[in-house]
Structure 1
Amino acid sequence: MPGFDLQLLLHGQYHDWLVAGLLVSLKLAGITIACALPLAIVIALLRLAPYRALQWIGTGYVELIRNVPLIAHLLFWYFGAPELLPDALKERLYAGSYEFVAAAIGLTLYAAAFMAENIRSGIRAIPAVQFEAARALGLGFLPAMRRVVLPQALRVTVPPLLSQVIILWNDTSVATVIGVGEMMYQAARVETAAFHSVEAFGFVTAAYLAGSLALTAVATWIHRRWPVRTL
């Protein structure tokens, strides 16, 4: 069994694998966050909509997504969903980098369900009189939410949304089960090829920890820069 080799993390083929995995993880997390947050806002508004049918849609989405493990979502989007398509289109998907697309879809839908509940709680934390005042001024449901309630609610939800973003950043590791070349996948390649488990998985651990701490620092700065003020 080889001993600890710091040079493995500094240069060479295995270093390139790990760095490539880090970049894929960052790309996957960035795309997912950018897509999940707007979707979460829509779902939260559906759950608070004045129409029962829209509430059912929002509630159904949240309950369906949250009560199924993330790995099942990823496996469905990679193996299950393409089976519903014509064979020619399915072959084109698998010929490309569909595993990354499937992971992004699964992670986006999964994260949005949890973020939607955080945003809905933040909206409910804003005094109802503000929404009522906006409606009294002639604003409809969506304009009142967009101009008055949501800007305050999003500030209130910074801490719980941060927690979800950190969870999402760590959840990108699950994408290895469908062959996405992120950090865990590349670390497993290094371990298989060179038996340098400590170096490979130590790199992955440090990268996930650094990402989580960086997100925490950003959220803390945002909270101090724009503190929550409600009437």
Structure 2
Amino acid sequence: MPHWLTLMLESLPSLLWAGLIFTIPLTLLSFMFGLAVGLSAALIRLFLPGPLAAIVRFYVWIIRGTPLLVQLFLIFYGLPSVGIILDAFTAALIGFTLNIGAYTSEILRAVISSVPKGQWEAAYSIGMNWRQAMQRTILPQAARVAVPPLSNTFISLVKDTSLAAAITVPELFQAAQRIVATSYEPLILYIEAALIYLALSSVLSSLQARIETRLNRYGGFLEARS
């Protein structure tokens, strides 16, 4: 068996374990919390003009205008200088959450704005208040439009979690770096890590395509009934 194949097979369990214990939980938690932050920010900008909306716009501007790696360094290495010390996983989770929140807020703001005003009027005409109209009429329609861009954001987040290695989170990429430090085979190990990320992204992309197909069929069914 070739040396490179032996090394890849021997290192595969360690890489997969790091992905299972750190990369996947970090991705899921960051996206879940980031989506909640993004929805809150989008609703504030759309329906609460004033100082609060200005604060949210400033947050989105800062996050979208600075590199994610810099944000992670500020949280993990910068905050201790003012007495705030976080472990690596928590710092990464906060950094990714804030980053995802800023980007998803723009996606959600756009899709909510794209729902025709007639839908609001129809909801109000049957006695719904603002909250009921949002939950039962506006968000379900906006969600179908938001699935493709949000899915792309999630897939990108899977790959972006490799940046957490820079602040010592022992996720998949840092596991590869540790093996490189003892095997002195960076090309083989980094290719293997890339292939694992590629496999994850491919599975998620396939799942995204199926979800979009199902939503399109559901949307066409509703349009036909209307």
TM-score range, shorter chain: 0.7 to 0.9
Distance 2:135 2:50 in 1: 21
Within 5 A, what are the aligned runs for 1:142-161? 142-161=131-150
How many residues align structurally? 218
Pick from 7, 22, 27: which aligns with 2:19?
Answer: 22
Pick from 93, 100, 118: which aligns with 2:89?
Answer: 100
Distance 2:153 2:48 in 1: 27
Matched, 1:68 2:66: yes
TM-score (normalised: structure 2) = 0.87
Gap change, CA 1:4 and 1:142, over 3 Å in 2: farther
Taking only aligned residues, the RMSD between alpha carbons, in angstroms, comes to 2.1
Matched, 1:213 2:202: yes
Amino acid paired to 1:73: Q
What does residue 59 of structure 1 align with?
A: 57
**1:112-143 CA-partner distances (Å, limit 9, x unpaired):** 11111111111122111102322344434333
Amino acid paired to 1:69: P
Unaligned 5+ runs, structure 2: none
Within 5 A, what are the aligned runs for 1:4-15? 4-11=3-10, 14-15=11-12
Q: Share of identical aligned residues, percent? A: 33
Amino acid paired to 2:150: L
Distance 2:31 2:152 in 1: 12
Amino acid paired to 1:62: V
**1:160-186 CA-partner distances (Å, limit 9, x unpaired):** 111111111111011111111112211
What does residue 180 of structure 1 align with?
A: 169
More helix, by proportion = 2
Q: Name segments (4+ residues, structure 1) moved above 4 Å.
A: none
Gap change, CA 1:138 and 1:85, over 3 Å in 2: farther
Q: Greater RCO between the two (CA within 8 Å, min separation 6)?
A: 1
TM-score (normalised: structure 1) = 0.85
CA contact (8 A) 1:40 1:115 kept: yes
Deviation at 1:4, TM superposition (A): 4.3
Unaligned 5+ runs, structure 1: none
